[in-house]
Amino acid sequence: MIDARYVARVWRRNAVVWTKYWLGSFVGTVGEPLLYLFLLGYGMERLIKEVEGMSYSRFIAPGLILTASMYDATFECTYASFTRMTKQNTYRSIISTPVNLSEVVAGDILWATTRGVISAVLVSALLALLGLLDSPTLIFMPLLALLCGALFGSLAMVATGLARDYDFFTYFFTLVVSPMFLFSGIFFPLEGMSGWAVALAESLPMTWMVRMSRVLAYGRMDPAFFGDIVKSILSILVLFILSVRLIERRLIR
């Protein structure tokens, strides 16, 4: 049912639009992680001597790379996709052409993934320039961002499939995205927390992402690494299929 050529055409539409405002999009993408790094990182270093044998800034750096990917993909497939689906009728007009609705959804998620990868590349390069991260395996970070972008793009698309109006996304960000950001081990180690807290954190896909990002950022293997990859891929598949179902239910009567 899904033909990659048609998905690419939807992706290309989004890329064409992005070329009109790409410079502005970097402000949020790169600006936000840097704010956390400088204000939170260097501020907290006055209290925290070291975490897991490294400076606090170095500890939070890998997670901030994928935070950029997560937020970019999530914004793209919530507010932007929802606007195209409802207010602008863009989805309806694309499915009047040979492109299917599942390909429109896939194209939007693929574009969100692309945004996530671009962000990860920029933020990784900045952190490497600042000397915070220096492992050669850092060059594989875009591959991880691919997973991260696809996962959060699909999750956001599920939210878009459920949303009745823009207010829904306020709940989605407050109840899903922000806890994911704060409780996924970016800012504090999860080891040694009580059992229920660890179980909760382990259920959040961002936790898997952050753990994988540390493997690549420090060049230090983690026994959970391959399991995390498999869990991420399965989650992407499930969320993608669910989002297509939800959006088909809305647009095709």
Residues engaged in binding another protein (CB under 8 A): 5-6, 9-10, 12-13, 16-17, 20, 88-90, 92-100, 251-253
Q: Report, in Å, the least distance between residue 201 CB and another protein.
A: 38
Q: Are 111 and 79 in contact (CB under 8 A)?
A: no
Q: What are phi and psi of 157, to 5 degrees?
A: -65, -30
The least distance separating another protein from the CB of residue 98, rounded to whole angstroms, comes to 5
Nearer to another protein, 95 or 143 (CB): 95
Residue closer to another protein (CB basis): 8 or 224: 8
89 three-class SS = coil
49 or 87, CB closer to another protein? 87
Amino acid at the residue 167: D
Residue recorded with tokens 């753990």 = 211
Could you tell me which residues come within 8 angstroms of residue 4 by beta carbon, excluding any fewer than 6 positions away? none
d(CA 202, CA 165): 30
Q: Which is nearer to another protein, 72 or 103 (CB)?
A: 103
Helix-strand-coil split of the chain, %, nearest 5: 75, 0, 25
CB of 251 to another protein, least distance (A): 7
CB of 28 to another protein, least distance (A): 18
Among residues 6 and 181, whose Cβ is nearest to another protein? Answer: 6
Least gap, CB of 19 to another protein (angstroms): 11
Distance of CA 217 to the CA centre of its chain: 17
